[in-house]
Amino acid sequence: MAGTTRTPTNLTQGAKADAGIGASTLRPDGTLKVTGEFAYSSDMWHEDMLWGFTLRSPHAHARILSVDTSDALAQAGVYAVLTHDDLPTEHKKYGLEFTDTPVLADGVVRHHGEPVALVAADHPETARRAAAKIKVEYEELPVVHDEASALAEDAPLLHPGRDDHHAHEVPHPNIVHRQPIIRGDANAAARRADVIVTGEYEVGMQDQAFLGPESGLAVPGEDGGVDLYVATQWLHSDLRQIAPVLGLPEEKVRMTLSGVGGAFGGREDLSMQIHACLLALRTGKPVKIVYNRFESFFGHVHRHPAKLWYEHGATRDGKLTHMKCRIVLDGGAYASASPAVVGNASSLSVGPYVIEDVEIEAVALYTNNPPCGAMRGFGAVQACFAYEAQMDKVAAELGMDPVEFRQLNAMTQGTIMPTGQVVDSPAPVAELLRRVKALPLPPENQWESAGQTADVRALPGGLSNTTHGEGVVRGVGYAVGIKNVGFSEGFDDYSTARVRLEVVAGEPVATVHTAMAEVGQGGVTVHAQIARTELGVQQVTIHPADTQVGSAGSTSASRQTYMTGGAVKNTCEAVRDKALQLGRRRFGTFHPAWATAELLLEGGKVVTDGGEVLADLADVLGDDVVDLELEFRHRPTEAFDIVTGQGFGHVQYSFAAHRAVVEVDTELGLVKVVELACAQDVGKALNPLSVVGQIQGGTTQGLGLAVMEEIIVDPKSKVRNPSFTDYLIPTILDTPTIPVDVLELADDHAPYGLRGIGEAPTLSSTPAVVSAIRAATGLALKRVPVRPEHITGV
């Protein structure tokens, strides 16, 4: 690395011109984001606004014996103090899948950091001081913190009397959801195996660690309603949960998306939304709530920690015979997205391989640990770490090259998933592995600079100066993964787009209005590209996302370009048809092609498919405005059978492969990832620059899980490291060069043939890094993050 200078020629630069799909056009919000003017949710400000503050439980499981707010209320500058008793309606709970989460603790706290009371005051410090004066008397209760304690005979039940839709089918009330998948006969197939390899694996609790903390501003309206400016992943899902608690009809809760400082799944659940609205409605004043980093660790769900048991068999010639696995996910105190995470973990537990005989079980538990839910990769990350470790292990047992072994068993288009679903679009698993393997390896000993001293920045330990090359061993590892795209298991997954086409100052202009949460992924960039492609206009305005238009669904599950991109395309096509109808009415008699030819909109003109210009779009539109709002759905899916797990459960699959090159200081157990190459099939890159950015970002989050990121929860279910001092995410000195090879094999079922891309790179990154560390050290390494203790064995 030392001595390397800038290489501007290698830059993937944004296209100079505005362009349609396939070009690397620049972000429409880029200028505002680099000048500091882009308004994030924590930047909201209002005359006379108050600051909200949340008092949280110091215990993981306790009964609340009493709450006395009188001293807090007596503080100068305090406008309101609210507890569970102050909630205005009988709807006192909310939740993504189950309505099981109290808005404010209902006499029991079930996890460390659960909200107990709210304060609104004229300054954040006043609010904090007042909160400190709220007297809460707790009686601590025993905690449920793992599978054994959750399922013990006398285990305290987290949610006695459950009435959710999985309640009647779970084997124990502390199991949120259980999804078995049985296909073929694993026991019979095991008898054909020449080798059988088993393994137990563990994945720690990862945090999304988005940089913009939970925040927003609620402004009471004159009509008794409320305007809420907030950072979220899904406005309409928030709205559905907020309105009943406030006792307001949905149209009186007007939500506008503020700038979102990253999400990664952590904003799929509500955080401060209802709290800010309650305080605003109570005080009649605008209320802003901004979590600090400490509170943020309690303000959102995390990635489910998991324990995984796997058994694989293979014949001497390297063919996998069967797989059995059991995956236990810790869902924490409330359900959040746990049921869907179980479905993913279970249905993707085989990985991108052909195995006909399987026995799979995945469960999520209710415990007193922090609630877990959506995070990039969503159940598939945990499984991928385990099955890829198993692939290395089986290959080693057979004496085969681990990449060749994977390729020999790789799924292809036409492969039948363990759920019985036929993979009906390209699945270039072997090819992705071939591509990362074919890349040249980075040079050795890059820390050796021209001078005498080692450049520690290129060594494990970095600036901390722990080695000048001593103990450093290189290792190379591979992994590949499979992720579903979109909402699965029969969910009615749709998105809505409103598109308006009109003439402004003599030019045709398209306005695209959706409720899609732009969380950084670049949805706003591709929406404009799509509108430009479909409507042939130069100027496209992206309307701010709000609830004045229909739902866009969540910015998650790698689905937004597919779904809201698809919705924009779909509506644009309908708008185009309307515009052409106008054209036929106005100009149809002037040229026969109006009636006979396939017509397109290009460069602001109506042209025939032969390229003949029929009219200017501006003339076609005249004073008319074409304005349509339409819903778009992907093809329907079905629920997995609760006994056999069979069902057409997923819309689309997404694949990525990684090669990791690491250097490990084997004596100190410190790791430097030297290079992390990725190859991914994206179907169609609507914006290649953004695609590569997503892949590199996802890859880096996987690296973080591999070697440093973990929320540590003690046996009393308390979080021990809720800060950026002790929850570490990769810095620029921890992150290697990430070469990306993008493959574009169209999925004919999807708009433009595209494939959702956001999550797949997060899956295979982690096991590739760990595989490389295993190669360097010869250790088994069954748990992530890998800590120095695991490598040094002390």
Partner 1 sequence: MDFLRPASWEEALAAKAEHPTAVPIAGGTDVMVEINFDHRRPDVLLDLNRIGELHDWEVGEDTVRLGASVSYTRIIENLRSVLPGLATASHTVASPQIRNRGGVGGNLGCASPAGDAHPALLASGCEVEVASVRGTRMIPIDEFYVGVKRNALAPDELIRAIHLPRADGPQQFSKVGTRNAMVIAVCAFGIALHPSTRTVRTGIGSAAPTPIRAKAAEEFLAAALEEGGFWDNGKIIPPAVARQFAELVSGAANPIDDVRGSASYRRHALGVMARRTLGWTWDEYRGNERSARCA
Partner 2 sequence: MRVTFTVNGREQEADDVWEGESLLYVLRERMGLPGSKNACEQGECGSCTVRLDDVPVCSCLVAAGQVQGREVVTVEGLADQARERGGRATDGTTLDQAKGWQAKPHGAQAAQPGQLAPIQQAFIDAGAVQCGFCTPGLLVAADELLERNSSPTDADIREALSGNLCRCTGYEKILDAVRLAAARQDEVV
Enumerate residues 683-722 that contact partner 2 by CB under 8 A: 689-690, 692-693, 696-701
Which position among 597, 735, 744, 781 is part of the footprint of partner 2 (CB under 8 A)? Answer: 735
How is residue 581 written in tokens? 């109808």
Phi first, then psi: what are they for 533, rounded to 5°?
-65, -45
Sign of CA dihedral 128, 132, 137, 143: positive
Which position among 93, 172, 468, 578 is part of the footprint of partner 1 (CB under 8 A)? Answer: 468
* 460 binding partner (options partner 1, partner 2, none; Cβ < 5 to 8 Å by kind): partner 1
Separation of alpha carbons 782 and 784, rounded Å? 7
* 467 binding partner (options partner 2, partner 1, none; Cβ < 5 to 8 Å by kind): partner 1
Beta-carbon contacts of residue 403 (< 8 Å; ≥ 6 apart): 433, 434, 437, 478
How is residue 681 written in tokens? 């099939």
Q: Which of residues 204-233 bind partner 2 (CB under 8 A)?
A: 208-213
Select the span of 11-19, 273-281, 306-314, 555-563 touching partner 2 (CB under 8 A).
11-19
Cβ atoms 784, 772 nearer than 8 A: no
Q: Which of residues 117-136 bind partner 1 (CB under 8 A)?
A: 128
- Mapped onto helix, strand or coil, the DSSP state of residue 328 is strand
Separation of alpha carbons 587 and 672, rounded Å? 67
Q: Which of residues 678-707 bind partner 1 (CB under 8 A)?
A: 707
789 lines the binding site for partner 1 (CB under 8 A): yes
Beta-strand ranges (E) seen in 725-789 are 740-743, 783-784
532 lines the binding site for partner 2 (CB under 8 A): yes
442 lines the binding site for partner 1 (CB under 8 A): no
Q: What angle do CA 187, 763, 747 make, to 5 degrees?
A: 90
586 lines the binding site for partner 1 (CB under 8 A): no
Which position among 708, 760, 776, 784 is part of the footprint of partner 1 (CB under 8 A)? Answer: 708
CB of 81 to partner 1, least distance (A): 18
533 lines the binding site for partner 2 (CB under 8 A): no
Whichever of 192 and 720 has its CB closer to partner 1, that residue is 720
Select the span of 257-265, 327-335, 484-492, 591-599 touching partner 2 (CB under 8 A).
257-265
* 23 binding partner (options partner 1, partner 2, none; Cβ < 5 to 8 Å by kind): none
Of the chain, the end-to-end C-alpha distance in Å amounts to 32
CB of 794 to partner 2, least distance (A): 28
Q: Which of residues 335-394 bind partner 2 (CB under 8 A)?
A: none
* 490 binding partner (options partner 1, partner 2, none; Cβ < 5 to 8 Å by kind): none
CB of 609 to partner 1, least distance (A): 56
Cβ atoms 757, 699 nearer than 8 A: no
Phi first, then psi: what are they for 426, rounded to 5°?
-55, 140
Cβ atoms 628, 738 nearer than 8 A: no
Which position among 528, 661, 673, 786 is part of the footprint of partner 2 (CB under 8 A)? Answer: 528
How is residue 666 written in tokens? 């084997």
Which position among 221, 262, 490, 730 is part of the footprint of partner 1 (CB under 8 A)? Answer: 730
CB of 267 to partner 2, least distance (A): 11
Select the span of 41-49, 86-94, 530-538, 782-790 touching partner 1 (CB under 8 A).
782-790
Select the span of 17-25, 154-162, 324-332, 473-481 touching partner 2 (CB under 8 A).
17-25
* 471 binding partner (options partner 2, partner 1, none; Cβ < 5 to 8 Å by kind): partner 1
Which position among 466, 538, 548, 644 is part of the footprint of partner 2 (CB under 8 A)? Answer: 538
Cis peptide before 636 (omega within 30 of 0): no
How is residue 660 written in tokens? 């990791």
Q: Judged by CB under 8 A, how many residues of this single chain contact partner 2?
A: 91
Residue type, 556: S
Whichever of 467 and 560 has its CB closer to partner 1, that residue is 467
Which of 732, 762, 738 is CA-nearest to residue 463? Answer: 732
Q: Judged by CB under 8 A, how many residues of this single chain contact partner 1?
A: 39
Element housing 772 (H / E) = helix 760-777
412 lines the binding site for partner 2 (CB under 8 A): no
* Angle separating helix axes 760-777 and 380-398, nearest 10 degrees: 40
* 85 binding partner (options partner 2, partner 1, none; Cβ < 5 to 8 Å by kind): none
733 lines the binding site for partner 1 (CB under 8 A): yes
* 720 binding partner (options partner 1, partner 2, none; Cβ < 5 to 8 Å by kind): partner 1
Whichever of 676 and 743 has its CB closer to partner 2, that residue is 676
Q: Which of residues 653-682 bind partner 1 (CB under 8 A)?
A: 667-670, 672
502 lines the binding site for partner 2 (CB under 8 A): no
How is residue 254 written in tokens? 């007007």
Beta-strand ranges (E) seen in 235-378 are 253-257, 287-290, 302-303, 306-314, 320-330, 357-365, 372-373
Count of C-beta atoms within a 10 Å radius of residue 171: 9
How is residue 604 written in tokens? 């602001």
Cβ atoms 583, 614 nearer than 8 A: yes
Separation of alpha carbons 165 and 143, rounded Å? 25
* Cα separations in angstroms, 44 against 26, 204, 229, 257, 290: 26, 35, 8, 11, 10
Separation of alpha carbons 122 and 131, rounded Å? 13
725 lines the binding site for partner 1 (CB under 8 A): yes
* 465 binding partner (options partner 2, partner 1, none; Cβ < 5 to 8 Å by kind): partner 1
Are β-strands 357-365 and 613-616 bridged in parallel, bridged antiparallel, or unpaired? Answer: unpaired
* 8 binding partner (options partner 2, partner 1, none; Cβ < 5 to 8 Å by kind): partner 2
Whichever of 465 and 589 has its CB closer to partner 1, that residue is 465
Whichever of 210 and 655 has its CB closer to partner 2, that residue is 210
365 lines the binding site for partner 1 (CB under 8 A): no
Separation of alpha carbons 632 and 560, rounded Å? 12
Whichever of 313 and 508 has its CB closer to partner 2, that residue is 508
Q: Which of residues 657-686 bind partner 2 (CB under 8 A)?
A: none
- Mapped onto helix, strand or coil, the DSSP state of residue 542 is strand
3-state secondary structure 247-271: CCCHHHEEEEECECCCCCCCCCCCC
Whichever of 294 and 587 has its CB closer to partner 2, that residue is 294
Residue type, 677: A
Which position among 7, 66, 452, 596 is part of the footprint of partner 2 (CB under 8 A)? Answer: 7
Separation of alpha carbons 318 and 409, rounded Å? 8
Q: Which of residues 258-317 bind partner 2 (CB under 8 A)?
A: 259-264, 290, 292-293
Whichever of 438 and 712 has its CB closer to partner 1, that residue is 712
Separation of alpha carbons 24 and 692, rounded Å? 10
Select the span of 4-12, 169-177, 647-655, 731-739 touching partner 1 (CB under 8 A).
731-739
Q: What are the residues facing 602 on neighbouring strands? A: 605
455 lines the binding site for partner 2 (CB under 8 A): yes
* 188 binding partner (options partner 1, partner 2, none; Cβ < 5 to 8 Å by kind): none
Whichever of 40 and 366 has its CB closer to partner 2, that residue is 40
Q: Which of residues 278-307 bind partner 1 (CB under 8 A)?
A: 292, 294
Which of 487, 187, 477, 480 is CA-nearest to residue 350? Answer: 480
Separation of alpha carbons 529 and 569, rounded Å? 10
* Residue carrying the six token digits 């999304």: 208
Q: Which of residues 28-87 bind partner 2 (CB under 8 A)?
A: 28-40, 42-43, 45
How is residue 320 written in tokens? 């996998």
* 346 binding partner (options partner 2, partner 1, none; Cβ < 5 to 8 Å by kind): none
Separation of alpha carbons 722 and 727, rounded Å? 7
How is residue 351 written in tokens? 């990985």
In the sheet that holds 613-616, the strands lie side by side as 599-602, 605-608, 613-616
User: Interface with partner 1 by CB under 8 A: which residues?
Assistant: 128, 292, 294, 457, 460-468, 470-471, 667-670, 672, 707-708, 712, 720-721, 723, 725-726, 728, 730-734, 787-789, 792, 794
